[in-house]
Structure 1
Amino acid sequence: MTNPSANAQIALDDVAVLMPAYNGQADVNLTLASFDESALVHVLIIDDGSTPPIVAPALPNLRIEVLRMPENGGIERALQTGIDALAQRGFRYAARIDAGDRSVPQRLAKQRAFMESHPHVAGLGMWTQVVTRAGEPLFMLMPPAAPDVIRRQRFLRSCLAHPSMMLRVDAVRAVGNYRADYRSAEDLDLFVRLMERYDCANLPELGLYYELNEGGISATKRRRQITSTMRLQLRYFNVANPCDWLGLAKNFLHLVTPYRALQRVKRVLLAPRANH
């Protein structure tokens, strides 16, 4: 991999952080303050009808624009609007993150360098440390790096951590952008469509601290998320792929198992990796 600090000022001119936000000004401030890059960081916040409206914090080395939606329409519409806005502004790459999460230093430069040298990769994630609201480590998500493994296991496990992703804006728009057909599973829907025409991969190193928020989509809209995921599994089901069968069974189990019980199991199984 090339040295991400070389030509850093040029390297990030076509990258923009894309962050949807609904209320939670303090979380927005915390997340944006975590970016530490050698070049100016461009940020587009999609304010999804917050009251009061989200205000761009004054932070060094960040150029922040807030695009306000007329009313709260959900993350799917906010992300779709964000991708179109980045295309109109001439950005090639969208670096996803959610309010409350924190970036690892030089994440953007590393991801962009990889994608420049791998032009068929349309989406690139990184390993993710899951933490509590207080920042205490819970467990590490270390998904596979290789595109063929990700494609095979796409319904068996969470192979791509959405807030850690860098996406090619033109590729996302070429496959139909984010959409609301699979509510609360808009990320998996996009990734599956991307992988029909391009590759998705992971950088096998820490890139994101993901806050496990009991009020987040995965907790409060869990049944909708699982149902949407199962609909996607059935639509793209490959009978010759054992991982598709296992993934369907796994999500059925998730559907009938309480959320807190699943989180306890995850912490027991993955906690030994937390300090890796």
Structure 2
Amino acid sequence: MTGHSRVAALVAAYNAERTIREAIDPLLAAKPGCQVYVVDDCSRIPVSEYLQNTDGRITVIRLEKNAGPAAARNAALIKILAAGFDYVAIADADDISKPDRIAKQVAFMDANPKVGACGTWTRHFYDDIADSTFINRRSGDPRAVRRLMFFNMGVSHASAMIRCEALRRAGLYSQDYPAAEDYDLFRRIGQRYELANVEECLLNYRISPGGQSMTRRRQQLYDRLRIQLRYFEAGAWQAWVGIARTLVTLLMPSGLFQTIRSGLRARGGGS
């Protein structure tokens, strides 16, 4: 293991020169400390050109070709698992962790050895952090999270902390589902461990000004459907309803979908 750190933070970066410092600074300041692995997915300006590694706790891995989120994160995870860390904290290069995020998730994972991964509540915002849109509150009860996983992600991937042993048992990110690789990974982890959430807002999640394109959204729904079919459990009614819900959403006109989604968010709903 590198130094005495038990936690590696994995930051995937692609053309993130404007925001990456905000993402990394809270991780470096965290107690207990983190070793930060930044995987640069062939950004136009290499991360190493503008990110100063002043204390030796930042490792930058640059890919020579743009490989996408799954392959990029796997490149870092291979090194993280080999280094012997206990946990890996997922962090996107445009999100901002709260100062106590790492400490609270480590304490939760230490106290719950059956949990393979945990997320947190997340506060969604546009570029101005004061312009908060909503807080995504997912249940912390592993039984409730298991039920949610039949429908969609029951754990916030953006704020996830994963037990390294769970990754060794379940495997890394699959490249077979390019728009839902996180959902596939957590379904596999959920077959072997419990999944949970720390019921506190420990991450500020930045919303892209342009939002998610409908083409990307439909690909995500299609990949989600394939994953739901792959891990289908006939004895769970939620599995049937989850597939039906994804099919309905996939076939729904984009304008109607956006109207319903906006209405749910206005009432404090999820993502």
Q: Please give the range of the TM-score, normalised by the shorter of the 2 chains.
A: 0.7 to 0.9
- Is the 2:15–2:44 contact (alpha carbons within 8 Å) kept by the matching residues of 1? yes
TM-score (norm 1): 0.86
- Is the 1:153–1:244 contact (alpha carbons within 8 Å) kept by the matching residues of 2? no
- Is the 1:179–1:186 contact (alpha carbons within 8 Å) kept by the matching residues of 2? yes
Q: Which residues of 2 match residues 41-80 of structure 1 at below 5 A? A: 41-55=34-48, 57-58=51-52, 63-80=57-74
Tell me which of 175, 199, 220 is aligned to 1:204.
Answer: 199
The answer for the alignment partner of 1:152 in structure 2 is: 147
RMSD between aligned residues? 2.5
Tell me which of 154, 159, 166 is aligned to 1:171.
Answer: 166
d(CA) in 1 for partners of 2:19 and 2:112? 33
Q: Are 1:38 and 2:31 counterparts?
A: yes
The answer for the alignment partner of 1:268 in structure 2 is: 263
Query: For the structure 1 residues 167 and 76, does the alpha-carbon distance in structure 2 shift closer, same or farther, using more than 3 Å as the test?
Result: same
Amino acid aligned to 2:141? A
Q: Are 1:103 and 2:97 counterparts?
A: yes
The answer for the alignment partner of 1:5 in structure 2 is: none
CA-to-partner distance for each residue in 1:106-151, whole Å, 9 max, x for gaps?
A: 1001101111111121101001111123321112211111112211
CA-to-partner distance for each residue in 1:42-101, whole Å, 9 max, x for gaps?
A: 210001111211136348888211111121111111111111110122222110011111
- Is the 1:40–1:63 contact (alpha carbons within 8 Å) kept by the matching residues of 2? no
Query: For the structure 1 residues 124 and 260, does the alpha-carbon distance in structure 2 shift closer, same or farther, using more than 3 Å as the test?
Result: farther
- Is the 2:122–2:159 contact (alpha carbons within 8 Å) kept by the matching residues of 1? yes
Question: What count of residue pairs does the alignment treat as equivalent?
Answer: 264
d(CA) in 1 for partners of 2:125 and 2:255? 15
d(CA) in 1 for partners of 2:252 and 2:35? 41
Give structure 2 stretches of 5+ with no counterpart. Answer: none
CA-to-partner distance for each residue in 1:165-192, whole Å, 9 max, x for gaps?
A: 0001221122121111222111111111
Give structure 1 stretches of 5+ with no counterpart. Answer: 1-9
Stretch deviating more after TM superposition (249-258 or 111-120)? 249-258
Tell me which of 109, 125, 129 is aligned to 1:115.
Answer: 109
Q: Are 1:88 and 2:82 counterparts?
A: yes
TM-score (norm 2): 0.88
- Is the 1:125–1:161 contact (alpha carbons within 8 Å) kept by the matching residues of 2? yes
The answer for the alignment partner of 2:16 in structure 1 is: 24
Query: For the structure 1 residues 185 and 214, does the alpha-carbon distance in structure 2 shift closer, same or farther, using more than 3 Å as the test?
Result: farther
d(CA) in 2 for partners of 1:75 and 1:120? 27
The answer for the alignment partner of 2:179 in structure 1 is: 184
d(CA) in 1 for partners of 2:119 and 2:113? 15
d(CA) in 2 for partners of 1:201 and 1:260? 33
d(CA) in 1 for partners of 2:128 and 2:147? 35
> SS at the partner of 1:78?
helix
Q: Are 1:14 and 2:6 counterparts?
A: yes
Amino acid aligned to 1:271? A
The answer for the alignment partner of 2:136 in structure 1 is: 141
CA shift, 1:260, in A, is 6.5
d(CA) in 2 for partners of 1:198 and 1:161? 16
